[in-house]
Amino acid sequence: MTAPARTLLIGSRGQLGSDLRRVWDGELVSFAHDELDVCDRDQTHAVIANTAPQLVINTAAYHRVDDCEENGGRAFEVNALGAKNVADAAREAAAAVIFISTDYVFPGDKGSPYTETDTPMPLNVYGASKLAGEHLVRLSNPRHYIVRSSSLFGVAGASGKGGNFVETMLRQAKAGEPLRVVDDQVSTPTLTYDLAGKLQELAATGRYGLYHVTNSRLHAGANVENLAAMPAQLVNPQVGVDDVLYVNEISCRLGRNHLQFLAFEAIPNHRGHEA
């Protein structure tokens, strides 16, 4: 298989979208939110038909977890129906589609990495809406790559979140504020630059299906001072936060068995070393 000749990118100003634009090798036609809204079915079909890509990468999402709880309709509109609009339009244009999903489709209590064959069971609206998106993409377009990742961070920052976790910690530390960080969550921070590179490799395989793609090291929230070389006295771990959305997230790390079947090299942890 060779890389797609022309790829259409949706959500191009986001964290992952920005790094896809940096790393993509091949023609990439990019659309930001104000140029293509995945919730607008007619517009999505028209743009994809006019661009005639071989591959569509959909990075658009409504992903502030707390907002999704408040506004579940919007979460399903963007993350599920929007994903279907893109997958339908890609199918009609004879294009493959990449849909980015999340470790939030799992409850987080397994105690070891979730693999692609584990049964999802989201605990919040965000995870449920992304899982619905996965199902709709799978139903709509047989030529799909559904890629679950975790705790994305990149130079562009997550516009929807007012910056990513690393940026927030750095900003607060620079301002001399004590860092309040949950200590009962484990995640796998994943550089969007690394994920973007892996998406390019995956897109060249033609091996459609479900993949877990993350960097390689577990990260406990309270260890953020190691990430940013912060003075430890600035860090004030908060154990047992009372927000029920988060308390079951321990070990919410994704195993990457399907990538290994393709004999892909793992992408390293966020500091450049395989765990």
Ligand X SMILES: NC(=O)c1ccc[n+]([C@@H]2O[C@H](COP(=O)([O-])OP(=O)(O)OC[C@H]3O[C@@H](n4cnc5c(N)ncnc54)[C@H](OP(=O)(O)O)[C@@H]3O)[C@@H](O)[C@H]2O)c1
Catalytically active residues are 126
Based on CB atoms, which residue is closest to ligand X, 37 or 116?
Answer: 37
3-state secondary structure at position 238: strand
* Binding of ligand X by 37 (CB under 6 A): yes
42 contacts 83 by C-beta, under 8 angstroms: no
* Binding of ligand X by 59 (CB under 6 A): yes
Which tokens sit at 200? 């390019």
For ligand X, the binding residue among 9, 47, 57, 60 (CB under 6 A) is 60
* Binding of ligand X by 159 (CB under 6 A): yes
Q: Which of 61, 64, 18, 30 is nearest to 156 (CA)?
A: 18
Instruction: Find the part of the chain contacting ligand X (CB under 6 A) among 113-121, 154-162, 176-184, 253-261.
Output: 154-162
Shortest distance, CB of residue 60 to ligand X, whole angstroms?
3
- DSSP letter at 124 equals S
Residues belonging to the chain: 275
| Beta partners for residue 100, in sequence order | 147
Based on CB atoms, which residue is closest to ligand X, 102 or 140?
Answer: 102
Long-range contacts of 172-175 (CB under 8 A, 24+ apart): 173/228, 173/230, 173/231, 173/234
* Binding of ligand X by 39 (CB under 6 A): yes
Shortest distance, CB of residue 47 to ligand X, whole angstroms?
10
Based on CB atoms, which residue is closest to ligand X, 20 or 95?
Answer: 20
Binding letters toward ligand X, positions 3-32, x by CB under 6 A = -------xx-xxxxx---------------
CA-CA distance, 209 to 242, in Å (whole number)?
Answer: 37
* Binding of ligand X by 75 (CB under 6 A): no
Shortest distance, CB of residue 153 to ligand X, whole angstroms?
7
How many residues interact with ligand X (rule CB under 6 A)?
29
* Helix spans in the chain (H): 15-23, 41-51, 65-70, 72-76, 83-92, 125-140, 165-174, 192-203, 224-228, 257-261
Q: Which of 170, 174, 173 is nearest to 157 (CA)?
A: 170
Binding letters toward ligand X, positions 83-112, x by CB under 6 A = -----------------x-x----------
Based on CB atoms, which residue is closest to ligand X, 61 or 125?
Answer: 61
Residue ranges binding ligand X (CB under 6 A): 10-11, 13-17, 33, 36-39, 59-63, 78, 82, 100, 102, 130, 149-152, 158-160
